[in-house]
Structure 1
Amino acid sequence: MKKQSYKNHVRFYPAHHFVYYPILIVFLGISVYFTITSAEKLVWGFITAIFVYLFWLAYMLRQHYALILQNRIIKAEFRYRYFVLTGSPFEAIEYKYTEDQIFALRFASDAELLPLMQRALVENLSGEDIKQAINHWKGDYNRV
Structure 2
Amino acid sequence: MESQNYKNHRKFYPPHHFIYLPLLMVLQIFGIYKIFSDEPHELIWILFSVVIFLIFYLAIMVRQHYALGLQNRMVRLEFRQRYFELFQLRSDETESKLTFDQIAALRFAYDEEFRELLYKALHEKITGDEIKKSIKRWRADHHRI
Q: Which residue of 2 aligns with 1:28?
A: 28
Q: Note the 1:107-126 alignment, pairs <5 A.
A: 107-126=108-127
**Alpha-carbon offset, residue 58 of structure 1:** 0.2
Is the partner of 2:114 in helix, strand or coil? helix
Partner Cα distance (2:59, 2:18) in 1: 14
Partner Cα distance (2:32, 2:52) in 1: 10
Is the partner of 1:93 in helix, strand or coil? helix
Partner Cα distance (1:125, 1:92) in 2: 18
Structure 2 unpaired stretches of 5+: none
Partner Cα distance (1:56, 1:4) in 2: 31
Q: TM-score, normalised by structure 1?
A: 0.96
The answer to whether 1:85 aligns with 2:91 is no
Structure 1 unpaired stretches of 5+: none
**Alpha-carbon offset, residue 2 of structure 1:** 2.0
Q: Note the 1:1-144 alignment, pairs <5 A.
A: 1-39=1-39, 40-144=41-145
Partner Cα distance (1:43, 1:111) in 2: 62
Deviations 1:40-90 (A, max 9, x none): 222211110011111100001110100000010111011101100111011
Runs of 4+ in 1 over 4 A off after TM superposition: none
Q: TM-score, normalised by structure 2?
A: 0.96
Partner Cα distance (1:127, 1:115) in 2: 14
**Alpha-carbon offset, residue 38 of structure 1:** 1.6
